[in-house]
Amino acid sequence: MLMRRRELSSGVKGAVVAILVAVLWVFAPASFTDRFNYTISDTIESLAAPPDTDRVLVVDIDSASLEELGGHRISRARFAELIETIGKSGAAAIGLDLILGEPCDPSDPDVQRLTRALGETPVSMGFLLSERTGAAPPAANTMVLERSIELPDLWIANGAETSCGVYLDAASGNSTLSLTGGFDGRIRSAPVAVGIAGAGYASLPVDTLRLTLPPTAIFLLGDPNEIRLGDRHARIDRSGSMRLRFATRQQRSDRTISASDVLSGAVGRDEIGDRIVFIGSSAPELGGLRPVPGDPLMPSVQIHADAVTSILTGSSPYAPDWAKAATLFVAIALGVLMAFYCSTVRPVVVPAVVVLLVGVWLAACAFLFHAFNIVLPPSLPLATVIAGSVAGAAFEYSAVRAAETLIRNRFEQRLPAALVSKLVNEPDLLKLRGERRLATSLISDLEDFSGFSERTTPDQLIDILDRYFAGLTRIIIANGGMVDKTTGDGVHAIFNAPLDLEGHAQAALDCALQIMRFSEQFRRSSPAADYRLGRTRIGIEAGEVVLGDVGDADRVDYAAFGSSINMAARLEQANKTFNTSILVGETARSLMPERNLIDLGETELRGIGVMHVFTPCDEEKRPSPPHQSPTAA
């Protein structure tokens, strides 16, 4: 079914709003759109646990372990023992989410023991980026950047806060521990590489993974940007960071052991052997807790473990190059679709449809995320769907209200209230652009109106006519007719318009008889009797008429046109010839054969020709001529 013109107009306006919202959203600051995108993406991510691996182990220096290791300032001897135990258990590599400061004296036996432990097992020492110039650690790995890679937002610092040089020299690698939060301070990604004083450094997860492989460089490749280590690779963004998927609480618990259990021998070699071990702390007093989605106090060592797990399982989320364009296309398509759809349905349906479509879109985003690690910015289509839906429905509602007001203004004084309400609820029933239909016209007039108007003052004339026309209008509407217009002292009424009226010719005749009874009572009452108001004459004829809006933009009226209207007017005038009050034409007579009408024979109607005319036999006794007083009749 083709859309109606009004609905099409509302849909077009709603579509324009949806497209405008899409354009504004694309050019909005990232600080604004990220609030929506990441909030929704975080919820999508939490729907299922990420892929896991048994190759990653976290040794947690929890609050209980701190006591065994010497408190806040960890004993070098006990920490050396921890490293030795993990190394002898066959760990593939160790990543330290700690900075080892003083004591650093090479002559100290405990420092010497820790130095030997760091040298006997592949260990990557962590450091923190600093804006303080200098103190850059020695580069312990080879980083190769492909010419096509684009990293305009790479994290570059002036210096670093590092462990003592004696420990750095003993370790197999060094790497950054630094993590940065997003718009809300929560960490969602981790750098795979950073720059310090012109040199490139890997992150702790990347460098620790490197230590488990045969000697190899860390490759940063472009088009698309990714990091590659041996046969492992992961997509990275323009800042050199990798999006993370965070382990569930159960997954973290399964891969975590306490440092005190390692030192006490409660942990067997098979629990450590050939695993990538990260040593860090969940103890709040060491300040290693970071906010992530779903957990405001995540130990940073667990974040590093999640990063290496994402690389090993190939589950790092990423936004492909086509994501923005595809999302924009989907957003505009859905927004336009909903604008047109919501302009054709009842407003109560709109929320359900919006919720359904939003659910379908979010389900698609969740499927791509969990099945293919693809991240689509979810908020843009949601914004256009809501904008298009609300705008389409609002414009349609406004148009309907305008149509309702228009219909009420035009017809509530001309049609029965029930019929006006029907037209308001179903405005398409009214064909404002024009239609042809068989209808019966009733035209009334007052005899000697010129003389009557001369006998009265203007105020009296208006008062009497107001009450007279009010009575006629009431009777016409009660009989299902429409008051087409009033002209001076006459009324033109249409029956069977604008909607179908069964037996419209009979309804017009009944209306005429009631008008005659009313008008005779009215003109015999004061003040009409005081000024000798003339009798009412009525002509009735049926025929095809054209109905519709007529006028210019400033003045429009719903009107009827047709030869039968002219015939009714001539019949009204012919009452003077026959000394009758009501004359009915041939066509109207044919539509009510069961009515008892008197055939008055043929008469010549000016501009029409010869035709038979009829008058109802149940017409009230003919009133007195206009020149006589009502009492003399």
| 3 state SS for 146-184 | CCCCCCCCCCEECEEECCCHHHHHHCCEEEECCCCCCCC
Lowest mean pLDDT among 48-62, 137-151, 224-238, 601-615: 137-151
pLDDT of residue 600: 92
Q: Looking at per-residue confidence, does 484 or 310 come out higher?
A: 310
Q: How confident is the model at residue 497 (pLDDT cuts 50, 70, 90)?
A: confident
Rounded distance between C-alpha atoms, residue 35 and residue 225, angstroms:
25
Rounded distance between C-alpha atoms, residue 218 and residue 205, angstroms:
12
Is the pLDDT reported for residue 515 higher than 80? yes
What is the arithmetic mean of pLDDT over 251-261?
94
What is the arithmetic mean of pLDDT over 236-244?
93
Is the pLDDT reported for residue 399 higher than 90? no
What is the arithmetic mean of pLDDT over 261-271?
89
Q: Are residues 595 and 509 in contact, defined by beta-carbon separation less than 8 angstroms?
A: yes
Is the pLDDT reported for residue 314 higher than 90? yes
Rounded distance between C-alpha atoms, residue 75 and residue 90, angstroms:
23
Lowest mean pLDDT among 91-95, 323-327, 514-518, 615-619: 615-619
Q: Looking at per-residue confidence, does 36 or 553 come out higher?
A: 36
Sequence-separated (6 or more) residues with CB below 8 Å from residue 350: 342, 389, 390, 393
Euclidean distance between the first and final Cα of the chain, in Å? 64
pLDDT of residue 425: 55
Nearest to 320 by CA among 223, 232, 239: 223
Q: What is the pLDDT of residues 160-202, one digit of tens each?
A: 889 988 999 899 999 999 999 888 899 999 999 998 877 889 9
Q: How confident is the model at residue 434 (pLDDT cuts 50, 70, 90)?
A: low
Nearest to 100 by CA among 84, 120, 83: 83
What is the arithmetic mean of pLDDT over 572-581?
92
Type of residue numbered 618: D
Is the pLDDT reported for residue 484 higher than 70? yes
Is the pLDDT reported for residue 23 higher than 90? yes
pLDDT of residue 553: 42
The residue extents of the domains of the chain are 5-44+320-402, 51-313, 429-632
Rounded to the nearest 10 degrees, what angle do helices 379-411 and 30-45 cross at? 110
pLDDT of residue 198: 79
Lowest mean pLDDT among 290-304, 421-435, 500-514, 531-545: 421-435
What is the arithmetic mean of pLDDT over 563-575?
93
| Long-range contact pairs involving 210-218 (C-beta distance under 8 Å, separation at least 24) | 210/124, 210/141, 210/173, 211/92, 211/93, 211/122, 211/123, 211/124, 211/172, 211/173, 212/92, 212/93, 212/122, 212/276, 217/141, 217/142, 217/143, 217/144, 218/141, 218/142, 218/143, 218/144, 218/193
Is the pLDDT reported for residue 408 higher than 90? no
Lowest mean pLDDT among 35-39, 205-209, 546-550, 583-587: 546-550
Is the pLDDT reported for residue 449 higher than 50? yes
Is the pLDDT reported for residue 71 higher than 90? no
pLDDT of residue 432: 52
pLDDT of residue 423: 53
Q: What is the mean pLDDT of the chain?
A: 86
Q: What is the pLDDT of residues 347-361, one digit of tens each?
A: 788 889 899 999 999
pLDDT of residue 633: 24
- What totals of helices (H) and strands (E) does the chain contain, helices first? 19, 26
Is the pLDDT reported for residue 428 higher than 70? no
Is the pLDDT reported for residue 2 higher than 70? no
Lowest mean pLDDT among 271-280, 376-385, 522-531: 522-531
Instruction: List the structure tokens of 174.
Output: 């060094």
Residue 277 forms beta bridges with which residues? Answer: 57, 94
Q: Quote the DSSP letter at residue 92.
A: S
Instruction: List the structure tokens of 14.
Output: 């709603």
Give me the CATH topology for the region 429-632: Alpha-Beta Plaits (3.30.70)
Q: Which residues of 135-160 are buried (b: 16+ CB within 10 A; e: fewer)?
A: ebbeebbebebeeebebeebbebebb
Q: Are residues 449 and 535 in contact, defined by beta-carbon separation less than 8 angstroms?
A: no
